[in-house]
Amino acid sequence: GAVVSQHPSWVICKSGTSVKIECRSLDFQATTMFWYRQFPKQSLMLMATSNEGSKATYEQGVEKDKFLINHASLTLSTLTVTSAHPEDSSFYICSAVLAGVLHEQYFGPGTRLTVT
Amino acid sequence: ELKVEQNPLFLSMQEGKNYTIYCNYSTTSDRLYWYRQDPGKSLESLFVLLSNGAVKQEGRLMASLDTKARLSTLHITAAVHDLSATYFCAVPLPLRNQFYFGTGTSLTVIP
């Protein structure tokens, strides 16, 4: 149980285009999902907290107009990288929190984004 | 701001040797998580330490937590090549679900 999927697993896009990444909790409901970004050989950096039915909360330094997050249901959050640039190339990992259970967080398999 | 630091950042060790990775954090937390990450992969949960003095062991890995010292250790016993990976500790903010990850320790076990 407690499986989180991400789609796509990898994507290549051209500069200036937008790309959407989906994060789904497959067998549980998640009122909260998190989005992390990881550059090569670095740690995971929390980008934003996605709450079902409300606006996402962004960490300091993360552009909310560039990284659009939508959490439309208890099992799906999406991250859209708008007007992507090569410096946005990174490994994006989402996690989902089991509804009502503090700190019970499950991680998705990640999405490798390459912007050319 | 919560800071989570790991030491060392890079570790190269021979098979059969023992070593300890340290995780220090800057704020009060009563729990800590350890994860393993293989290249190109996401995180694999290793240990959840839920209280001061907690100790957990799985195979050649043992983790402990000292909440008073804000320190956790991940001890590797008789390392084998399969343990080569990057190890992260993560600390949740009290009463919130946000996790803050340590800097990571890249472990290479040499035959």
pLDDT tens for the 111 residues of chain B, in order: 789 999 999 999 999 999 999 999 998 888 899 999 999 999 999 999 988 899 999 999 999 999 999 999 999 999 999 999 999 999 988 777 788 999 999 999 998
| Structure tokens, A82 | 């708008």
Question: Which residues in chain B are closer than 8 Å to A49, comparing Cβ atoms?
Answer: 97-98
pLDDT at position A88 over 80? yes
- Residue A112 to residue B101, Cβ atoms within 8 A: no
Query: pLDDT digits over B44-67, tens only?
Result: 999 999 888 999 999 999 999 999
Instruction: Identify the CA nearest to A56 among candidates A77, A75, A82.
Output: A77
Return the residue of B nearest to A105 by Cα.
B97
Q: What is the pLDDT of residue A37?
A: 97
Residue B70 contacts residue B91 (beta carbons within 8 Å): no
Q: What is the pLDDT of residue A33?
A: 93
- Residue B31 to residue A41, Cβ atoms within 8 A: no
Q: What are phi and psi of B37, to 5 degrees?
A: -130, 125
Q: What is the pLDDT of residue A97?
A: 87
Return the residue of B nearest to A4 by Cα.
B42
pLDDT at position A101 over 80? no
Could you say which DSSP state residue B63 is in?
A: E
Question: Which residues in chain B are closer than 8 Å to A30, comparing Cβ atoms?
Answer: none
CA gap B100, A11 in Å, rounded = 26
* Chain A to chain B Cβ contacts (< 8 Å): 45
pLDDT at position A65 over 80? yes
Q: What is the pLDDT of residue B23?
A: 98
Q: Which of B95, B98, B104 sits opposite A46 (nearest CB)?
A: B98
Q: What is the pLDDT of residue B94?
A: 73
Our CA-based measurement puts residue A108 at a distance from the nearest CA of chain B, in whole angstroms, of: 7
Q: Could you tell me if B43 lies within 8 Å of chain A, comparing CB atoms?
A: yes
* CA-based radius of gyration for chain A: 13
pLDDT at position A102 over 70? no
Question: Which residues in chain A are closer than 8 Å to B31, comparing Cβ atoms?
Answer: 103
pLDDT at position A1 over 80? no
Q: What is the pLDDT of residue B1?
A: 72
* CA-based radius of gyration for chain B: 13
Strand, helix or coil for residue B76: strand
Write out the E strands in B1-111.
4-7, 10-14, 19-25, 32-37, 43-49, 55-58, 61-66, 71-76, 85-92, 99-101, 105-110
